[in-house]
Amino acid sequence: MAPAVLGLADKPLNEKSSWTARLKAGLARTRGALGGGLGSLLGRRKVDETLFEDLETALLTADCGVEATEALLATLRARARKEHIEDGAALKAALRETLLETLAPLERRLEVLAARPFVIMVAGVNGSGKTTSIGKLTKWLQAQGCSVLLAAGDTFRAAAREQLVAWGERNGVPVVGQAGGDPGAVVFDAIQAARARGIDVVVADTAGRLPTQLHLMEEIKKVKRVAAKALPDAPHEVVLVLDANTGQNALAQVKAFDEAIGLTGLMLTKLDGTAKGGVVAAIARARAASGAVLPLLFVGVGEGVDDLRPFSAREFVEGLVD
């Protein structure tokens, strides 16, 4: 069995620096939505109501959402009064800390030592980048010393199976699947194969679906039940892949999938192609309000195999607030 899965903080310094640079580059559009970068928005401006109004507009434009924006501004106003903040530069530093406090609860390192095989079930709507994210997650797990097997649980789209097989070949890992078969049976067979081969982690793909497609939501519930029959307590992680381009619609997806299959974590993809990266703050605020924080396990900022990495609240904020 592999040693404890490492987080980004455990990476060599040069690799971590490279990722930080890619993350910042990937958040460029969101920084642009934040008033062309908060440095230019705030600068050395006097802290007054006009500045707060401009900041509110910038946060909403970056898709932080109304509730998160109001909460951030309320905290900032209180800090400005308490700490006697009078210029924009100092307010920017306070905003950075406030964002960090907001996003920190989303941070959790993925650990795969609880079972062998450790089963990760991955869900998402069509086009969210789910299958590609599985391929990148596989590469990340291998880098931590884990052996991986993929389950092609999207049995309805030949293209999805072919894509997963291609990722399997690229990463040198086995793929269990069948054309037009029952997705629950595929996941069951994959778990049994992993047990027989002594494989550390099973990552199970599922068919993309909208929360309104009730028959498909029932099907994914069945896949989860079958996994538990194949291995007690499986799946050990139930992860929803979100496309950052969906912005506030991501909140509805999280709610619907969580109610259906009990999510344990999130992946946020395509941050480099959107100005809506502020949705991370909206997710954090919504989950905090519900009293059940759902970790953002990974974020993706590109098409490269190494462009999916564990979420770090501090690195994200540093990439967002220049």
Which residue would you say has higher pLDDT here, 97 or 208? Answer: 97
- Ranking 3-7, 29-33, 155-159, 244-248 by mean pLDDT, the lowest is 3-7
**pTM for this predicted structure:** 0.90
Mean pLDDT over 141-169 rounds to 89
Residue 37 to residue 320: CA distance in whole angstroms:
8
pLDDT at 11 over 50: no
Which residue would you say has higher pLDDT here, 293 or 100? Answer: 100
In angstroms, the Cα distances linking 2 to 6, 7, 23, 192, 309 are: 10, 14, 28, 20, 19
Q: Which stretches of the chain are DSSP H helices?
A: 13-26, 28-33, 38-42, 49-61, 66-82, 88-103, 130-143, 158-171, 183-197, 214-230, 249-261, 279-290, 313-320
Which residue would you say has higher pLDDT here, 291 or 154? Answer: 154
Over residues 54-77, the pLDDT tens digits come to 899 989 988 999 999 999 999 999
pLDDT at 5 over 50: no
Mean pLDDT over 188-205 rounds to 97
Strands 237-243 and 265-269, by their bridges, are parallel
Burial class (CB in 10 A: 0-12, 13-18, 19+), 232: exposed
pLDDT at 7 over 70: no
Average pLDDT, the chain: 87
Of 142, 121, 126, the C-alpha closest to 237 is: 121
In this prediction, residue 29 carries a pLDDT of 86
Over residues 76-124, the pLDDT tens digits come to 999 999 999 988 888 888 999 999 999 999 999 999 988 999 999 999 9
Mean pLDDT over 259-272 rounds to 94
In this prediction, residue 274 carries a pLDDT of 85
Q: Which pair of structure tokens corresponds to residue 192?
A: 């049994």
Give Cβ neighbours of residue 203 (< 8 Å, ≥ 6 apart): 120, 122, 134, 137, 138, 141, 148, 149, 150, 151
Residue 95 to residue 215: CA distance in whole angstroms:
44
Give Cβ neighbours of residue 252 (< 8 Å, ≥ 6 apart): 211
- Ranking 115-124, 143-152, 196-205, 293-302 by mean pLDDT, the lowest is 293-302
